[in-house]
Amino acid sequence: MSTTTRTRAVAPTDHTASRWDQPVLARSVASVAILATTGYLVWRFTSTRGATPLWLFAPLLGIEIWTFARLALDAIVLWTVPPSERADIGSLQSVDIFVTTFHEPEHLVRATLLGCRALGYPHSTVLIDDAGRDEMVALAEEFGVQYLHRNDTDGARAGALNHALAQSEADLVLVLEADQVPLPDALHAVTGYFHDPKIAVVQTPMEYLNHDSVLHSSDGRHERGFANEVLGPARNHMGGALWEGSASLIRRVAFATVGGIATDSTTGELQTTMRLQAAGWSTKYHAEPIVQGLAPHNLSAFLRQRERWARGHLGVLRTDDDPIRKRGLTVRQRVCFSHLLLDYLQAPIDLALVTLLGIVLWTGEAPLNASLVGIATIWLPAFALRSLAAVALSRGRIGFGETAARRMLTLEIHLKALGAAVSRRSGRFEPVARTGVDEGGLDVIEHLRLLTALTLVLETILAARMLDALIGWPLESMRGLALIASSLTGATVLWIALQVLGVFVRRRQHRSQYRVDVDLGAYANGRLVKISDLTPDGAGFVSTESFAPGTKLSLRFRLADASGGATDLELRAVVRNQLPNQTRSRFRIGCRFVGVSNDERDLITEFTSVVRPYQLLRG
């Protein structure tokens, strides 16, 4: 498995993008949308008040002005999305790799250390264990890496990293969480940046191995695709690349000049980034994945992670590192950081909009006075163009309606985070579990209580309004365009909310380890089969012959390793399930390995966590 050192452009990892990657098209759509929305707002100010009550007219107009401002800011930040390029690595620099762990299972940390061992660039690895576990001591000894543990847990992960940085003498440090397995060419991809003495950080995308996570959609895309491939490069172009705390290479001395990583919030990455930039250091974003981690496995873990991010980022507003007041930042950097924080301030706007919609449907009072011609020729084009602009500016990574669905999913946690920021409660750092199961069902209702309540209330009001339209009871009369427009809007919001709830209520995931998609020839009890997915615990294969559940078998196959060689394995397994096709000419077999040795388990882990991701991401 070779690694490249020459300068080259980096291709995006999300192959769903298409024509929207053309800058002229994205910019044109965004410009037309801004012009159309400007015309709409002029019309709203001058021609739609009539006899409309001010208490309905003003809130809707305020929400629409906010929406226009968000569109304009999105256009500014996302106007240019340049590709990343690898810099020539030049002379070698000393590198430490920090692998941080607290409560993660041994097999997960083992995979990361296997990835570190496969790196072709000279380095030293440090296992930073903030829990002081005996199994981590044994793991560090097994892999011959340094084990580091401190006597307290002040500052949580940030504090542990600061402690390790104080012990290190390396020029550069690759920061990894326990689940983030580096690709063999990870350091070759980013060390070249640091021949520029002003660069403090190179951040890379958060990519994920487990495609069955709560972040992933059925087509293989994940919720971070837009941030990885569009937002990150766009911020980098404006000089506002954000350090995200892991999957990054940092200059040790640069962090020392700003007092280390900020520890006075649940996420100190934003504060640390601004402190570095205000001190004259540069931060960069490299859009090529160099590690693969594990996305939150279930809805509970996802919401806990995003609430922690929101609390930490909003907490910056009450510190001296507020991006509006922070000295030393450029205007473009302030714009980038303000754009990030506005995402968290969107939640009360969305809640106000849903509340206003419910009031309109219940009372029968319209929030504006307009004719059908005005709605059709002014409002509708502006609305359609804004929706199209959202897709265009995301370069096709976010589809129609996806933004609204994502905001509904995080509505409650962002409101909680905003309340905590206002009340000056920073909360405490809580690690997010990377393994587990997802039962779906009523647990979803428990985690999305506000969205569930809003859905039930809106459903009740909309049903009452439809009943009133049919028989003139039980609400105040509402007819014509006002009835049609408000009912269609209510039905659309309700449909999106039910879709969000339905996806997670129906979701079931009972495997604690993700089975990586592979395409390997193998022999099962001497019969030729094809292995389609694999973990250290078991495999799925396709066979033309039946293997009944409970059948004991010998599975022989060859695995490539990270050094470029290959090893033949013969493992004992027990068939757990069998699924035939309609003609019973093919059988999908699931089996579990038994009696696997540690060396055999490491070979499978290295293949599934290092070799296979390298093959897929590097083509």
- Nearest Cα to 362, choosing from 466, 242, 275? 466
- Nearest Cα to 109, choosing from 128, 81, 89? 128
In a domain, 157, yes or no: yes
pLDDT tens, residue by residue, 149-189: 999 889 999 999 999 999 999 999 999 999 999 999 999 99
Structure tokens at 162: 């600061």
Amino acid at 503: V
In a domain, 335, yes or no: no
- Same domain for 214 and 304: yes
- Same domain for 492 and 366: yes
Distance CA 152, CA 172 (A): 25
- Same domain for 307 and 247: yes
State the residue for tokens 């690349």.
Answer: 241
The DSSP call for residue 541 is: E
In a domain, 380, yes or no: yes
Relative to beta strand 85-86, strand 8-9 is antiparallel
- Same domain for 323 and 261: yes
- Nearest Cα to 110, choosing from 150, 138, 130? 138
In a domain, 18, yes or no: no
In a domain, 14, yes or no: no
Is the pLDDT confidence value at 4 over 80?
no
- Same domain for 110 and 29: no
pLDDT tens, residue by residue, 547-573: 999 999 999 999 999 999 999 999 999
Tell me the average pLDDT across 28-43. 98
In a domain, 272, yes or no: yes
Measured in whole angstroms, the distance separating CA 226 from the mean position of its chain's CA atoms is: 9
Least confident range from 3-12, 482-491, 588-597: namely 3-12
3-state secondary structure 484-498: HHHHHHHHHHHHHHH
Amino acid at 410: T
Helix axes 380-393, 54-78, angle to 10 degrees: 30
Q: What is the pLDDT of residue 408?
A: 95
Q: What is the pLDDT of residue 494?
A: 96
Structure-derived torsion over alpha carbons of residues 525, 531, 533, 535, reported in degrees to the nearest 10:
50
Q: What is the pLDDT of residue 509?
A: 62
Q: What is the pLDDT of residue 430?
A: 61
Tell me the average pLDDT across 584-607. 96
Structure tokens at 68: 């226009």
* Interacting residues of 70 by C-beta distance below 8 A, sequence separation 6+: 342, 346
C-alpha angle 468-474-479 in degrees, rounded to nearest 5: 35
Q: Locate the DSSP E strands across 65-180.
A: 85-86, 95-101, 124-129, 146-148, 172-177
- Nearest Cα to 180, choosing from 267, 106, 113? 113
Which pLDDT band, with edges at 50, 70 and 90, does 608 fall under?
A: very high
Helix axes 331-363, 480-506, angle to 10 degrees: 110
The DSSP call for residue 19 is: G
- Same domain for 500 and 409: yes
More confident residue, 344 or 216: 344
In a domain, 17, yes or no: no
Q: What is the pLDDT of residue 15?
A: 44
Residue 408 CB burial class (10 angstroms; 0-12, 13-18, ≥19): buried
* Interacting residues of 147 by C-beta distance below 8 A, sequence separation 6+: 126, 127, 129, 136, 137, 140, 141
Secondary element (H or E) of residue 521: strand 516-524
Winning range, highest mean pLDDT, from 395-404, 421-430, 498-507: 395-404
Largest separation between any pair of C-alpha atoms in the chain? 83
Tell me the average pLDDT across 361-371. 94
In a domain, 320, yes or no: yes
Amino acid at 26: A
> Dihedrals φ, ψ of 319, to 5°?
-115, 175
Sheet holding 95-101, edge to edge: 146-148, 124-129, 95-101, 172-177, 248-251, 199-203, 282-285
Q: Is 97 helix (H, G, I), strand (E, B) or coil?
A: strand
Measured in whole angstroms, the distance separating CA 28 from the mean position of its chain's CA atoms is: 28
On average, the pLDDT of the chain sits at 91
Looking at the structure of the chain, the number of domains it has is 3
- Same domain for 531 and 478: no
Exposure string (b/e) for 382-396, b if CB count within 10 Å is 16 or more? bbebbeebbbbbbbb
**Residue 380: domain span:** 25-78+341-506
Tell me the average pLDDT across 109-130. 97
- Same domain for 391 and 481: yes
Is the pLDDT confidence value at 508 over 90?
no
Say what percent of the chain tops pLDDT 90: 78
More confident residue, 451 or 218: 451
- Same domain for 309 and 354: no
Distance CA 218, CA 376 (A): 35
Whether the bond into 182 is cis, omega within 30 of 0: no
Which CB contacts under 8 angstroms, 24+ apart, belong to 222-225? 222/295, 223/406, 224/295, 225/13, 225/14, 225/16, 225/397
Relative to beta strand 95-101, strand 172-177 is parallel
The DSSP call for residue 509 is: B
* Number of neighbouring beta carbons within 10 Å of residue 242: 23
- Same domain for 194 and 223: yes
Q: What is the pLDDT of residue 443?
A: 78
Is the pLDDT confidence value at 16 over 50?
no
C-alpha angle 390-226-321 in degrees, rounded to nearest 5: 95
Residue that terminates a domain, selected from 506, 530, 549: 506
- Same domain for 557 and 500: no
Q: What is the pLDDT of residue 553?
A: 96
Least confident range from 193-207, 280-294, 305-319, 448-462: namely 305-319
Which CATH number goes with the domain that contains 610?
Answer: 2.40.10.220
C-alpha angle 330-281-329 in degrees, rounded to nearest 5: 20
Q: What is the pLDDT of residue 233?
A: 97
Residue that terminates a domain, selected from 329, 349, 374: 329
Which pLDDT band, with edges at 50, 70 and 90, does 429 fall under?
A: low
Residue 287 CB burial class (10 angstroms; 0-12, 13-18, ≥19): buried
Which CATH number goes with the domain that contains 266?
Answer: 3.90.550.10
DSSP string spanning 138-159? HHHHHHT-EEE--S--TTHHHH
- Same domain for 189 and 115: yes
Residue that terminates a domain, selected from 329, 361, 395: 329
Which pLDDT band, with edges at 50, 70 and 90, does 346 fall under?
A: very high
